[in-house]
Structure 1
Amino acid sequence: MTVKRLLLDCDPGLDDALAILLAHGDPDLELVAVTTVGGNVVLENTTRNALELREYLGFPDVPVASGAAGPLVRETKNAAEVHGVGGIGDVILPKAALPLDARGAVELIVETLRDAPGEIHLVATGPMTNIALALRAEPRVAEWAASFTIMGGSFTRGNTTPAAEFNIYADPEAAAEVFAADWQVVMVGLDLTLQALVTDTVKGRMLALGPLGRDLVVPLATFWNDPQDPDWGGQAVHDVCAVAYLARPDLFTSVPARVEVETAGEWTAGMTVTDFRSSIPNALVPVRLDVPGFWDYVLGVYARVAASRES
């Protein structure tokens, strides 16, 4: 299998941290850069988390660059009530010693894709602000990316408002620009990611990973519990699904669609209006997940990282 090279734009974030672990640990993926954006928590904390995860997990040569603190035009919002003020729940990692890349996120995205056109897969698991700014700076980013996958949106209902998923709601104008660019967006949205729940059985398998499972994976994967959901079945690992799609698209059933982002609606801002009947699709939307296969894959990668840390 050909190794896929990956640039991850993210806002760590509980599930972003788990996505970073997957991107780092899968031997069929090569994490070439990480860029951060304000989203789940403020930019200072998402960036700190990315830097600390880089050293804790052991990929010191991968550049980390900081990007947009807030959306293109709207008031900044975050989801600290879900992720904790620091962004990674109760997890405390050793302070990072290695610095940020001297370039900003937009510059790093543009240069990385420009220098290896058609070779780098772009995955975004936070608000789309950095991606929109990169497209404004250099529209050929859409041409240079080998593929573009997001965690964001939904084709039914939202999780931040009845209409909108958080990553799109946080910067709908940026998301609209991104969907309008000259590429196919793989939209790994809520309808898919809510199939990837950390049930008690999955938690038990995570604990079996040893110190990595006990100290990092389980605390990240079980921090959030929705008190308003009487049918709560476990925390969803939303962003992990986007990285998993890149590595294992065979685990997903996907359907072409036309996706437009609502920016003007009083009650529907951030809604991803999804038309599966359109004759001019701009997106590929995963709709069904092979749940057992997904967890076998993800936990297999995590087990590989755990074993390497103990050897």
Structure 2
Amino acid sequence: MFFLTKKIILDCDPGHDDAVAMILAYGNPEIDLLAVTTVAGNQTLEKVTYNARSVSTMIGMTDVPIAAGSSKPLVQAHEPADVHGESGLDGTELPEPEVPLSDAHAVDLIIETIMRNPAKTVSLVPTGSLTNIALAARKEPKIVDRVKEVVLMGGGYHEGNWSAVAEFNIITDPEAAYIVFNENWKVTMVGLDLTHQALATPEVFNKIKNINTQPSKFLGELLEFFKAMYKESQGFDSPPVHDPCTIAYLIDPSVVDTMSVPVSIELNGNLTRGMTVADFRYPIPENCNTAVATNLDRNKFWELIYDALKNIG
């Protein structure tokens, strides 16, 4: 069967669910993973970059360039997420990275990759704070018209997790989020309203275990730690696996329902800084460039991840 691969740049801060996103992107034949770039978020830049290289080593992803990016947000101080542990990928023994780190800064690799590919063929997939993406758009504005779309994990139109109304990836760098959401490109926000449906249930754990490969064992150990931390910190019996929802949507849009609505980023509210304000009022403006993810086909989503693990072998 002939299909066109979807070219993506994965900008991430691994992170347990970022690791799942890497596995899905590399293990699915419909995704052409052009680069992995890292940004301070779940942990420091040094740690998340090490994690990205370690995961790449584990899954045999030796042909995808990895570049480190921004070590702190545009304005505020960096604050890591406790749920991922001290390393950012606690719960398993990480292999010593054998995948080299690019000499290029992540922002420059993003720009160079977009500019050398045909216009409207590369999608940006940020699963951490949006610092690198905002800086790339500011450093080389020409990329905005060339990017096919931005599909990001962050925000929520009804839910928050870092505050009552703000999600971690957005509140980590709200100014960067403001830039990204207000550029003239298509943005799909895969937020907590959607990703809290992507739960790693006991059935999921069993199916991952039964694949019985080194990468599946690695992923199972990561998710066991993630499960315990989510239960302790947020009361989830099964942990939500946020970031790969973006990749699943690009592989098969029927996995994720979306709705076109204007989304604004709150920068100034004492209680609402970092909130992604989605305006569902009718009518939706004709020139609306933003959409939000609403419903997940859970079975299709997890089947994509099982298949990716099997393909990696």
Q: TM-score, normalised by structure 2?
A: 0.94
Distance 1:93 1:294, change over 3 A: same
**CA distance in structure 2 between the partners assigned to 1:25 and 1:229 by the alignment:** 30
Contact 1:222 1:235 in 2 (8 A): no
Corresponding residue SS for 1:265: coil
**CA distance in structure 1 between the partners assigned to 2:245 and 2:98 by the alignment:** 30
For structure 1, the 5+ residue unaligned runs are 307-311
Distance 1:86 1:5, change over 3 A: same
Deviations 1:180-230 (A, max 9, x none): 001110100000000000011111111111033653111222323322555
Matched, 1:12 2:19: no
Partner of 2:299: 292
Deviations 1:61-89 (A, max 9, x none): 2110000011000111110x200111112
Corresponding residue SS for 2:231: coil
Distance 1:228 1:49, change over 3 A: closer
**CA distance in structure 1 between the partners assigned to 2:44 and 2:196 by the alignment:** 25
Distance 1:119 1:219, change over 3 A: same
Corresponding residue SS for 2:250: helix
The Cα of 1:159 is off from its aligned counterpart by: 0.5
Partner of 2:85: 84
Partner of 1:248: 252
Matched, 1:282 2:289: yes
**CA distance in structure 2 between the partners assigned to 1:212 and 1:284 by the alignment:** 37
The Cα of 1:305 is off from its aligned counterpart by: 1.7
Corresponding residue SS for 1:150: strand
**CA distance in structure 1 between the partners assigned to 2:216 and 2:184 by the alignment:** 43
Partner of 1:29: 31
| Equivalent position amino acid for 2:6 in 1 | K
Corresponding residue SS for 2:55: helix
| Equivalent position amino acid for 2:138 in 1 | R
Counterpart pick for 2:52 among 41, 47, 50: 50
| Equivalent position amino acid for 2:137 in 1 | L
Corresponding residue SS for 1:208: helix
Alignment of 1:190-229 (within 5 A): 190-212=192-214, 215-224=217-226, 225-227=230-232, 229=234
Corresponding residue SS for 2:7: strand
For structure 2, the 5+ residue unaligned runs are none
| Equivalent position amino acid for 2:174 in 1 | P
Partner of 2:107: 106
Q: TM-score, normalised by structure 1?
A: 0.94
Partner of 1:305: 312
Aligned residues: 304
Contact 2:231 2:237 in 1 (8 A): no
- What percent of counterpart residues are identical? 40
Contact 2:216 2:309 in 1 (8 A): no
| Equivalent position amino acid for 2:273 in 1 | A
Deviates more, 1:86-95 or 1:245-254: 86-95
The Cα of 1:51 is off from its aligned counterpart by: 1.2
**CA distance in structure 1 between the partners assigned to 2:205 and 2:97 by the alignment:** 28
**CA distance in structure 1 between the partners assigned to 2:307 and 2:135 by the alignment:** 36
Corresponding residue SS for 1:238: coil
**CA distance in structure 2 between the partners assigned to 1:54 and 1:8 by the alignment:** 13
